[in-house]
Amino acid sequence: MDRSPAQLAALASAAVPGLDPVSVEALPSLPGQAFDVAFVEDQEHRRWVVRVPRTEVAGAEMDRSVALLGLLARRLPFAVPAPRGFVALGTGGRAAVYPFLPGHPLELSALPAGPGLAAELGRAIGALHNTDPALFEEAGLPAYDADAYRTRRLTELDRAAETGRVPTTLLTRWEEALEDVALWRFAATPTHGDLGGEEVLAVFEDQQDAASGRVKAMTGWEDAKVADPADDFAALVAEASPEAVDTVLEAYAHVRVERPDPNLLVRARLGAELRMLGRLTGALARQDVPAVEVLSTQLRRLDASVHAAMERGEDDYRRTSLAPVSPRSRPAPPPALVVDDDDEDELPEVVRDEAADPEDEVTDATETADEVSEPRRGLG
């Protein structure tokens, strides 16, 4: 159900003693949205986030992520959402209220290579992947070994094939990759599971220096599980420059307790494409005809780009490896910075590079498909 801003503010007040709302801003309601989310400011100028599950499934996911975040909060070098209160809903389940986390989401396409924010991101992901899998299992989150996870992916592919919306060439391409057991030799790892730029909040010590950027927090933990570490690189390899990916992977490898497997980025590129299938099946389930049509178009465009790559003799999945990063003669220039003067706690965000190549029509199709993806699940 759609809840009004006033209703969400009332839930926040009921969940946290002493929270007296003076303003509220609700996020727009979108098809397939799992949570109603609003930002609330109280009389003491404290800022809060209220998240209300729309379905029983979303409520169960939130409860598991809350249990996990309580275990992770003091074990990670960045902040995670920490609920201060809950309130039962008349329809079942409960709403959660969190202190607002400062920072700005990353624009991965503008992530600068070299020391600074990209290296910080690699170290942050490495710290998460170094955590004890037992913590995830204690919180009741799923855990898959490599073979079980590969089988799960094949099942998802079969369901997508039944829709009749996926080009045959793509189905064959993905099936071959999923049946290549050599690609799927990895150590099961604690993962965020849905890590994109919107889930990473960054701040800057020097507002004019991108190299001073650091990862302040990670949000959106409903898909957390013990599974393939490549999942947390899918958005990165689809959106960031190869140089930025190199920097992230180099920093990641330096902090990891276990050496990253050589096919991590291969599976990340595969995973970036397969994310489209989940969005397609979700749109079909909720009978969102415009989203289905747009996603079908994106799949056709991806199919065309795959054909073009094959004609050029390129192996798309293997074009990036874990080879050491070569020295650069010049550091990458910092991205444009945006400063919010209204809130001293919120420091500049990395913004999109407007000079992107206009002929790069299929960035891959995974990026453009984000226009119709399931909305981000907020700050939990």
Tell me which fold the domain 104-372 belongs to: Aminoglycoside 3'-phosphotransferase; Chain: A, domain 2 (3.90.1200)
> Would you state the pLDDT for residue 327?
31
Residues 6+ apart with CB under 8 A from 70: 82
Q: What is the pLDDT along the chain (380 residues), one digit of tens a residue?
A: 578 899 999 999 999 999 999 999 998 877 677 889 999 999 999 999 999 998 888 888 899 999 999 999 989 999 999 999 999 998 778 999 999 998 989 989 989 898 889 999 999 999 999 999 999 999 999 999 999 999 999 999 998 898 888 888 889 889 999 999 999 999 999 999 999 999 999 998 877 777 778 999 999 999 999 999 999 999 999 999 999 999 999 999 999 999 999 999 999 999 998 888 888 888 888 788 888 898 889 888 888 887 777 677 665 555 433 333 333 333 333 444 344 444 444 433 343 343 344 334 434 444 444 444 444 444 55
> Would you state the pLDDT for residue 304?
84
Rounded to whole angstroms, the maximal C-alpha distance in the chain is 65
Strand pairing report for 349-350 and 337-338: antiparallel
> Would you state the pLDDT for residue 1?
58
Cβ–Cβ under 8 Å, residues 149 and 227: yes
Residue 114 region by backbone torsions, left for phi larger than 0, else alpha for psi between -120 and 50, else beta: left
> Would you state the pLDDT for residue 344?
42
Residue closest to 37 by CA, chosen among 22, 53, 14 = 53
Crossing angle of helices 168-179 and 146-161, in 10° steps, is: 170
CATH of domain 5-99: 3.30.200.20
Q: What is d(CA 239, CA 323) in angstroms, rounded to the nearest whole number?
A: 20
The residues spanned by each domain of the chain are 5-99, 104-372
Q: 21: burial class by Cβ within 10 Å (0-12, 13-18, 19+)?
A: buried
Handedness of CA 6, 93, 132, 193 (dihedral sign): negative
> Would you state the pLDDT for residue 279?
85
SS3 266: helix
